[in-house]
Amino acid sequence: MTTQTTQLVRAAALHDVPAESGHVVHLAGRTIALFNHGGTIYAVENRCPHMGFPLHRGSVNDGILTCHWHHARFDLASGGTFDQWADDALAFPVTIQDDAIWLDLTTAGDPRAYQRERLHVGLERNLALVIAKAVLVLLDRQGDPTEPLRVGLAFGTNYRQAGWSQGLTILACMHNLRPHLDQADQPRAYYHGLAAVARDCADMAPHFTIRPLPTADTDGATLKRWFRQFITVRDAEGAERCLISAVRAGLDRTTLADILFAAVTDYRYISVGHPADFTNKALEALDAVDWEPASAEAVITSLAHSYATAERMEEANSWRHPIDLIALLEAAFSALPTAVATGQTVANPWDDRPALLAHLLADDPAATVQAMLTAVEGGCPPVTLASLVSYAAALRIARFHTSNEFGDWDTALHTFTFANAIEQGLRRTPSPELLRGVFDAAISLYLTRFLNIPAARLPEPPPQPAAGNPAALLQGFPALLDRQQQVNEAGELAANYLFAGGDPARLIALLGQLLVREDRDFHTIQMIEAATRQYATQTDPAAKVHILVAAARYLAAHAPTMRAQGQTYGIALRLHRGERLFADDEATTEADAQDSTTGVAAT
C-alpha cells in the first residue's frame, strides 16, 4: 500500500473571487485564473493553450470557458477543449478551507504521451500549429528523432489512398537533413515534414491494405517478375499484392529494393523521375527506423500506385522526335550486359572522368550513350558512372542562366534528383536493370542542355587564398535571401566561402536553416537534401564546390516566400518557451515566491 501526499498551495481568499467573476494569481512560477461560477471555484492556467491569450479575459457560460481571441472553448472543470485545433487547458484541483482557496499544483500525466496523441490529431485535421507544438515537446531534451518520423510514416501510408507522394518525401528529406542542421533548426525541419504529410493526406481516401497471397512460399524471382508485369499493364492492386507478399515472405531489404528499382526503371524516366526519388526516400526512411516490420509493409506497398500510374517517356514527343531517344536507349540496353561483363575483367582502374563529363554535357546523345558504354567496358564501376551523371546534372543548375523561364529551374532539378536517386539505389543494390536509370538521366541531361545556353559563369578560386575570417562571409547570407533574384550572388558567396577555407558543414547547416525558414517547397527541399548527399559522396574537390553552388543558387531562386509556415512555428516555439505573446499578459515574477497570500499545507 502506498500513501500519496498532495501539496496544496493557498491561492487567495474566497472573497477575492466574487460570484461570476475571474481573478488572477501568481503561484510557483505559474499564472493561474480563478473563476467563481455557479458558486464553485475553478482554477486553470491563465494562458490559452492555443496561442497564449489570457483566459481571465474570456467568458464563462454554463460551465464552458471561451477564449475571446479565437473562441476556443474549454470545460471549466477539467480544462478539456471542445475545439481540436486548441490544446486542453491545464486545470488545477481546488480545495476550500477556512474561507481560503487552496490549489493542488502537482501536474499529472506525461507531456510526451499527451503530445504524441496531439500529433495524431494535428495530422488527422491538418493543423500545423498543433503539429509544431507536438514536435517541440517530442524532440525536447534529446528526444528520439525517429519518433516523429515513425508517426509520419504510419499516418502518411495509411491515410493516402494514392500512396507515397510529396509529403512523405519531404518528411524523409528532413530526417536526412537533421544531422546537418543546428539543433535549434531540427524541430522546425520535422514540423515542415509532418505538416507536408498532413496536407498531402487532407480530404484523401484512406489506403486499405491488400492482404498477401495465401501461401508465403512464392520465391523472390517470381514475385519480382509478376510485380513488373502488373506495372506494365498499370494494375496497381496486383502489383501491391506482390509487394506485400514479398515483405511477408521475409525477403531481405536488398532483394526488396531490387524488385522496386527494377520496375521503376523498366520504362524511361517515368513521371520526370519522381517515382525513383520516392523509392529512394522510402528506403532511406526504412533504414532510419531499422526496417521494423509494420513500417516496411506500409512503406513498400505505398509505392505501387506511383509506378502504375506514371507517365512514361516512351509516350512523350520530346523523347521520340526529332531524335528517337527511346530507340537509342533500347539499343544501348541490349549492349549493356556485355559491356558490364567486359568491364569486370579489366585490371586497371578506370580514370577518364573529364572526357566522359564533356560527353555528358555535349549536344550529341548518340555519342554520349556510346561514351558511357565505352566507359563501362573500360571498367568504370556503375556507381562511379552514376556519380558522374549526378555531378553533370548539378552543373546544369550551377550554370543555369536567369534568362530562362522560372519554371525551368524545376526541369533541371528533376534530372538532378532523379540522377541522385538512381546513384543511391546503385549504392544499395547494384543491378543491370537499375543501371538503365543512369542512361535515362544522361538523356534527360541532354534534353536540358538549352538551360545552359548561355551558361552562367562558374565561380573560380582566386589566384591566392583570401585573407580574413571565412565565417564572416556567411553572416550576410540570410539578408541576401531576403531579396528576390539573388541567384548569382548566392552562388558566388557560397563558392568564395569554400575557396577561403570555410567549413563546408557550416555552409550546409546554414543552407538548411535558410531552407526551413521559408514556406515549404517540395522541389527546393529535394534540391538541398540531394545536394547534401552528393557533397558527401563526390570525391572531386571542384565537384563538391559546384554542388553547393548549385544548391545555393536554387535556394536563392526560390526565396523569399511569404514564410507563413514559419510564423506558425514561431508561435509554437514561443509558447513552448513560455514567452509572453501579448504585451498586457500578466507575467510571472520573482515576487511570486514572496506573495504574502501564499502558504503550503499537506493533506
List of long-range contacts for 249-255, beta carbons under 8 Å, 24+ apart: 249/212, 249/216, 249/217, 249/218, 249/220, 249/223, 250/216, 251/220, 251/223, 253/283, 253/286, 253/291, 253/296, 254/428, 254/429, 255/220
Nearest CA among 484, 425, 491 for reference residue 460? 491
What DSSP string describes 443-465? Answer: HHHHHTGGGGSSPPPPP---SSP
Contacts of residue 168, Cβ cutoff 8 Å, sequence gap at least 6: 152, 153, 156, 157, 197, 200, 278, 281, 282, 285, 302
R_g (Cα) of the chain, nearest Å: 29
| Residue indicated by cell numbers 536507349 | 329
The confidence score (pLDDT) of residue 427 equals 97
* All three cell numbers of 222: 517470381
21 - beta bridge partners? 36
Q: How many CB atoms lie within 10 A of CB 284?
A: 18
pLDDT value of residue 110: 86
Closest CA relative to residue 378, chosen from 408, 409, 340, 322? 340
Residue 1 is predicted with a pLDDT of: 34
Q: Residues of the chain whose pLDDT is less than 70?
A: 1-6, 108, 465-467, 582-603
Across the beta sheet with 73-75, the strand order is 59-61, 64-66, 73-75
Residue 289: how many CB atoms within 10 A of its CB? 18
CA 227, 228, 230 angle in degrees (round to 5)?
65
Q: How much is the pTM?
A: 0.93
pLDDT of residue 217: 83
What pLDDT shows up at residue 466? 65
Question: Cα–Cα distance between 572 and 133 in angstroms, integer?
Answer: 5
Here the cell at position 239 is 502489383
8 A C-beta contact, residue 391 and residue 538: yes
User: Hey, which residues does 9 pair with through a beta bridge?
Assistant: 103, 600
CA distance 256 to 280: 12
Q: How far is CA 310 from CA 55, 85, 230, in A?
A: 52, 36, 13
Task: Give the per-residue pLDDT at 319.
Answer: 98
CA 447 to chain centre: 29
* Phi, psi torsion values for 449, nearest 5 degrees: -60, -30
The CA distance from 386 to 62, in Å, is 68
What's the rounded Cα separation, in Å, for the pair 371 and 258? 26
